[in-house]
Amino acid sequence: MKRCILLPTLAVVSCLLVPTGSRVAAQNADSSQNPPIPTVTFERYWEAVRPQDVVITVQSTGNTTYVSRNPSLPAEQTATPEAARSSALDPNYQVRFLMSEANRAKVFKLAEQAKYFNGNFDFTKHAMAKTGRKTLTYADISRHFQTVYNYSENKAVHSLTDLFQNISTTIEFGRKLVFSYKYDKLGLDADLAALEDAVENHSVDELHVIAPVLQQIAADPTVLNIARRKAQKLLGKAK
């Protein structure tokens, strides 16, 4: 079973925003602009949802970092003890894991098909519902390309968007399970049922990342048996 680390962090994630399809010059670039290991980064910022900002960075080695945060939450959200508890999932959050070989290969193959994001991939034929500003970046020792879009009909970009958003869904499910396991064990059954539905609807990916909390739930005799059975079933899929 692949190992992963789930931990809160106060690290601030920044993303260099440049015009859609722009190329960043290689000359005078530092290692963050042109890393020695080829890297694909996906960011989605959507103020209306939680988490608002999601950043996933994948190296060609498979080493992956996930960060989510809510930079514009109103101050009054934590004005009362009840609100403070409900917002406990809102601080910056970070997970590091090794992406599965199949998805690692898929990410870099799709990036190649999308010309490493050197171009404008935003759909502009007619107005589309806003689903957050998305940014894809490719960088290696000699290239740095970035594209920004709301929705893209390019098959490679669309597939990458689905994959990265599914990974985010998985990790945020795991985060909620950790919270419920600590504060609301009776609510675990509903959380796990929702995760089962997401698995059936193919809206999660890299399920192995949250295997540790599923294992903890499945092995805990103080958790309702129905929830433990769901966790055990999901563990089977995570493998």
Q: Say what the pLDDT of residue 91 is.
A: 74
Query: What is d(CA 223, CA 131) in angstroms, rounded to the nearest whole number?
Result: 37
**Stated pTM of the model:** 0.83
Residue 207 has pLDDT above 60, yes or no: yes
Per-residue model confidence as pLDDT tens digits over 21-49: 444 433 334 567 999 999 999 999 999 99
Q: For 133-149, what is each residue's pLDDT tens digit?
A: 999 999 999 999 999 99
CB 193 within 8 A of CB 231: no
- pLDDT classification of 88: cutoffs 50, 70, 90: low
Q: What percent of the chain has pLDDT over 70?
A: 80
Scan for tokens 């290239």, then name that residue.
143
Tokens representing 60? 């060609």
pLDDT at 220 over 70: yes
Beta-strand relationship, 53-59 and 39-45? antiparallel
Question: At a CB cut-off of 8 Å and minimum separation 6, what does 172 contact?
Answer: 51, 68
Question: What's the confidence (pLDDT) of residue 1?
Answer: 45
Q: Is the pLDDT of residue 20 over 70?
A: no
Mean pLDDT for the stretch of residues 52-70 = 97
pLDDT tens-digit readout, 107-117? 999 999 999 99
Q: Which of 6, 212, 182, 195 is nearest to 93 (CA)?
A: 6
- Per residue in 124-183, pLDDT (tens digit) is 999 989 999 999 999 999 999 999 999 999 999 999 999 999 999 999 999 999 999 999
Residue type, 222: T
| Burial (CB count within 10 angstroms: exposed 0-12, middle 13-18, buried 19+), residue 62 | middle
Per-residue pLDDT at 120 exceeds 60? yes
